[in-house]
Amino acid sequence: MIFGDCKVPCAELVVIGDEVVSGLILDRNSQYLGETIHEMGIEVSRITTVGDSASAIEDCVKLALERSDWVVMTGGLGATHDDITKSVLLKVFECGLKRDSKVADMLAQIFQARGREVPDSVSSQCEVPEKAEILYNEKGTAPGFKMRQGNCVLFALPGVPLEMQHLFEKFVAPEMAAQKNKTFLHRLIKTTGLSEADLWAKVGPLEAMLKKATIASLPSHLGVRIRISVLAESRPEGESRLDEVERFLTQHLFRNIYGKDEDELEAIVGALLTEKSLTLATAESCTGGLIGHRLTQVPGSSDYYKEGFVVYSNEAKVSRLQVEPKLIEEFGAVSEPVAQAMAEGVCRVTGADMGVAVTGIAGPSGGSDLKPVGLTYIAVHDRSGTYCRKFVFTHDRIRNKERSAQAALNMVRLRLQGESEI
């Protein structure tokens, strides 16, 4: 869901390569370029990906030059027979090749360092389009090109991500920035526990905020991220508009917002535990270790993550966590009393300050009418008491595990933030 709009200059990306259209490699370059260019206040209107076909590439480049202010091409600049970007550029810009001695020197240096001559296959890189300005590549053998047609500027960059980013940052970004007369800023607000529809219903009318910023929501099964973007006269003015929209969202979504920008829920939980000098232990049935895995993604987590148990069987719940067998008999392993007993038990046996426990039916089998697949109880225990919530997730085992781990970490966060209702 995106609200609002900012009108700005526009860029197109043209991605070249059989290996991309045939899915052999994942194109991360376009995400990097899309995000970086968008953040500079330039709208990325289109990304076209084509295989190593000269006529298809020519067609795309010509249209992009007509429609856009900027064109950024990636790929097809290597020195092998299927790297045809350069020959397409010669045709589109109607020019020939010239030899560039600086490229030649740079190649000689690279191969000297490897103790060999520049191979014939690579030396063709010294031949560059007559009408191009050369983007000298310090990270590889393929130079990039800058070419101009009317009001449109085209950059051709190599496809290797490291080389592409190097040339983009050194040559393309400064030029794009110099052309702006405004500042583009954005902020990401991360929520969990509400569907996209429920989230916007809870927030209510947005009109006043949409005069300040563009607001977009990005849902996943683990939560909704909200992106606020502004095109401002200056950075301070932009920041103040971002702050205003963030305050508005926080008023309505306080309990569901766990962080912003690069924040990860497991790192937020870790920071809260560190701040309060508390330790945490985990008792996982259906999540099978996923909560421990997420907690330990964070460097330094050994300081507060005390210990974890993966207790699939009733026997393990009893022997490791001191869950009373009669609770399991009476209520079943997937029940509120057992989840609570697991959270309390894991604190008792490990000496941790907080315990989080999950018991559920991940599926695909094991469900019944009374206890369907997806039924999950999550309990958090600390000195002030034991809190338990019931969830009914879906039929998908893997997603159920992911949702359970997310909900468990969020409950730990809410307890650490002193929320009584988690």
Q: Work out how close the CB of 354 gets to a copy of itself at its nearest, in angstroms, rounded to a whole number.
A: 15
Q: What tokens appear for 268 in the block?
A: 């937020």
3-state secondary structure of 361: coil
Helices (H), 114-213: 120-123, 161-167, 173-179, 196-203, 207-210
Q: Work out how close the CB of 130 gets to a copy of itself at its nearest, in angstroms, rounded to a whole number.
A: 27
d(CA 375, CA 395): 10
Taking a C-beta distance cutoff of 8 angstroms, is the pair 265, 193 a contact? no
Which residue lies nearer to a copy of itself by CB, 212 or 320? 320
Q: Work out how close the CB of 327 gets to a copy of itself at its nearest, in angstroms, rounded to a whole number.
A: 19
Which residue lies nearer to a copy of itself by CB, 21 or 272? 21
Which residue lies nearer to a copy of itself by CB, 306 or 415? 306
Q: Give CA angle at 127 (123, 131), nearest 5°.
A: 160
Which residue lies nearer to a copy of itself by CB, 34 or 332? 34
Hey, what long-range contacts does 141-145 have (CB within 8 A, 24 or more apart)?
Answer: 141/79, 141/107, 141/110, 142/77, 142/78, 142/79, 143/77, 143/100, 143/103, 144/77, 144/171, 145/86, 145/89
What is the DSSP secondary-structure string of 241-285? HHHHHHHHHHHHHGGGEEEETT--HHHHHHHHHHHTT--EEEEES
Q: Tell me, what DSSP letter sits at residue 141?
A: S
Which residue lies nearer to a copy of itself by CB, 131 or 170? 170
Q: Work out how close the CB of 293 gets to a copy of itself at its nearest, in angstroms, rounded to a whole number.
A: 4
Q: Work out how close the CB of 221 gets to a copy of itself at its nearest, in angstroms, rounded to a whole number.
A: 8
Q: What tokens appear for 42 in the block?
A: 């330039």
Unique residue bearing structure tokens 């604190």: 347
Across-strand partners of 387? 380
Which residue lies nearer to a copy of itself by CB, 170 or 227? 227
**Residue among 355, 366, 361 at smallest CA distance from 309:** 355
Which residue lies nearer to a copy of itself by CB, 111 or 331? 111
Give, for 240, the enclosing helix (H) or strand (E).
Answer: helix 235-253
Q: Work out how close the CB of 148 gets to a copy of itself at its nearest, in angstroms, rounded to a whole number.
A: 24
Q: Work out how close the CB of 312 gets to a copy of itself at its nearest, in angstroms, rounded to a whole number.
A: 5
d(CA 115, CA 88): 34
Give, for 47, the enclosing helix (H) or strand (E).
Answer: strand 43-50
Which residue lies nearer to a copy of itself by CB, 132 or 167? 167
Neighbouring residues of 237: CB distance < 8 A, sequence distance ≥ 6 = none
Q: Work out how close the CB of 131 gets to a copy of itself at its nearest, in angstroms, rounded to a whole number.
A: 27
Q: Work out how close the CB of 150 gets to a copy of itself at its nearest, in angstroms, rounded to a whole number.
A: 21
Which residue lies nearer to a copy of itself by CB, 15 or 65? 15
